[in-house]
Amino acid sequence: MRELLEILQGQSFFDGLTEAQLKLVAAFAALRSFEAGRYLFREHEPADAFYLIRSGRVSLESLLPGRQPGTFMTLGGGDMLGWSWLIPPYRWHYDARALEPVHTAHFDAAALRERMDHDPVLGYALHKRFTMLIVERLQAARLQHLDIYASGEGDVGLGG
Amino acid sequence: MSALAAELQGHEPMAPEPWRILAVRREVADGEVFTWTLEPLSGRAATARPGQFNMLYLFGVGEVAISVSAIEDDGAVVHTIRAVGSVTRAMQGLRTGEVVGVRGPFGTAWPVADAKGRDLVLAAGGIGLAPLRPVVHAVLARRQDFGRVLLCYGARSPRDLIFRDELDEWQVRRELDLRVTVDRGTADWKGDVGVVTQLIDRGGFDGRNALAMVCGPEVMMRFSALSLHRRGVAPERTFVSMERSMRCALGFCGHCQIGPHFVCRDGPVFPYPVMEPAFRVNEL
Ligand code: FES
């Protein structure tokens, strides 16, 4: 528990939570590791967890009909993984696979969600943080699909 | 001296001087991005600083502004060029030993000295790594002067990564924290997939004490500046390099103007707050 609290305290995602709130969140967490190649979760499975990746890299993959599963994003040490536990129907929308040995803090999100319903202050504090995370990932996804590195029109080479 | 070289001879700021291509190197498989090492036929030239650019002139075709991508001790200058228009595409066909015209160096430089004693975050997108490479060289030459140094580099796909050998070398030397990502991976790509801003979001530097230099497409610079700001880097300590096509490169013609600023003379390197109005894009 103490170790988990320290891990959460060192994570900017949780900055601004009170000590009491951090302790509460830590109570729903457990250290969990995955060998290279193992799935943290699979698409369509119930989303009842989220993760703080402490080290190692995780590939987020989506299956397109008739195609090989494709990595649309990789996450690494310090990244948060998973928000589908916040939004009905609470199912994962993609696969998450360990590319190398991955060490995480795993959060029992189903239980935490219930707790948040009864503790709106904590609920709001966590919602705000996950909303920020969702916005960051949405912006990243938008940039990724804009093809921003396509050649411009101009005959100029100043790095743009 | 050839007739071309004689024609190019002169010291007027508008008159290109003849430089010889010492080496040509392909940066990507199809050769669309290539690097020239150039030396002045006269044997002397003003020394460029990281972030500055030269006007490269191809006789009978035209002139383009190209950032310096390395500065060699012997005075040779290195330019990395992407063939995107009529002049740069014609340049793609030139070989070692041929002579081109060079005017410069022009413009403002990256504030490398201001980063001393601080953490330094370099964020490069695509060919934007080229203008930042001389900063990496300068920092590695005096590594002890700087705190943590992060180089976050994003490209469209693995095949678009430039300076591959040097990236490998920097990775091995571990004197800087090199993070590379691509928008679209391939089956054999073992590295990160995602946009360059996510590499910044991962932190690993002291934002309050950091200075950042960002170079790439404008939308990438805008979102990188936001990520840096979220991580505590003051906008005034975030620098961006702007790209506009140039004609005079001397602040006369106004061709490169962004608002009241002439990119050729007041830039290309600007503090972020100066360019922020030019960057505004619709938020999600
Ligand atoms: S290119 Fe003429 S003013 Fe800048």
CA of B69 to the centre of ligand 1 (A): 21
Q: What is the pLDDT of residue B23?
A: 95
Q: What is the pLDDT of residues B207-248, one digit of tens each?
A: 999 999 999 999 999 999 999 998 899 999 999 999 888 999
Determine the distance in angstroms separating the CA of B2 from the nearest CA of chain A, rounded to an integer: 27
The fold of A2-150 is Jelly Rolls (2.60.120)
CATH 3.40.50.80 maps onto chain B at 113-278
Listed in sequence order, the residues at least 6 apart from B156 whose beta carbon sits closer than 8 Å to its beta carbon are A147, A149, A150, B126, B182, B183, B184
User: Are B128 and A159 an interchain contact pair (Cβ–Cβ within 8 Å)?
Assistant: yes
Percent of chain B with pLDDT over 70: 94
Residue B180 has pLDDT above 70, yes or no: yes
Neighbours of A133 (CB within 10 A): 18
CB-CB under 8 Å, B203 with A12: yes
Q: Tell me, rounded to whole angstroms, the distance of Cα B45 from its chain centroid.
A: 20
Eight-class DSSP state of B19: E
Looking at per-residue pLDDT, the higher value among B107 and B279 belongs to B107
The ipTM value here is: 0.86
Tokens 């007739």 found at: B3
Q: How far apart are CA B54 and CA B249, in angstroms?
A: 9
Binary contact (A160, B192; C-beta < 8 A): no
Structure token pair of residue A80: 């948060």
Average pLDDT over every residue of B43-67: 92
Question: Looking at per-residue confidence, does B11 or B146 come out higher?
Answer: B146
N residues, chain A: 160
CA dihedral A132, A136, A142, A144 (to 10 degrees): -160
How many other C-beta atoms can be found within 10 angstroms of the C-beta atom of residue B162?
A: 25
pLDDT at B173: 85
Beta bridge partners of A50: A107
Which has more confidence, A158 or B251?
Answer: B251
A69 touches chain B (CB under 8 A): no
pLDDT higher at A65 or B251: B251
The pLDDT tens digits for B57-94 are 998 899 999 999 999 888 889 999 999 889 999 999 99
Chain B nearest C-alpha distance from A144 (Å): 5
**CATH T-level fold of B113-278:** Rossmann fold (3.40.50)
Using a CB-CB cut-off of 8 Å, the residues of chain A touching B246 are 156
**The pLDDT of residue B126 is above 80:** yes
CB atoms within 10 A of CB B175: 13
Domain limits, CATH 2.40.30.10, in chain B: 3-106
The pLDDT value given to residue B5: 44
CA distance B284 to B278: 18
Q: What is the pLDDT of residue B3?
A: 45
User: Which CATH architecture fits B3-106?
Assistant: Beta Barrel (2.40)
pLDDT of A68 reads 65
CB-based contacts of B157: which residues, under 8 Å, 6+ apart? B182, B183, B184, B185, B186
Average pLDDT over residues B149-172: 95
Q: What is the pLDDT of residue B58?
A: 93
For chain B, say whether A11 makes contact (Cβ under 8 Å).
no
Alpha carbon distance A159, A157 (integer Å): 6
Distance CA B86, CA B255 (A): 18
Q: What is the DSSP letter of B226?
A: H
Judged against a pLDDT cut of 60, whether residue B2 lies above it is answered with no
Q: Which residues of chain A have pLDDT under 50?
A: none
Q: Give me the residue from A73, A154, A159 closest to B193, CB to CB.
A: A73
B62 close contact with A: CB closer than 8 A: yes
- Ligand 1 shell residues, CB under 6 Å: B 246-249, 251-256, 262, 264
Nearest alpha-carbon partner for A53 in A83, A87, A98: A98
Chain B CB within 8 Å of residue A64 CB: no
Judged by CB atoms closer than 8 Å, whether chains meet at A157 and B127 is answered as yes
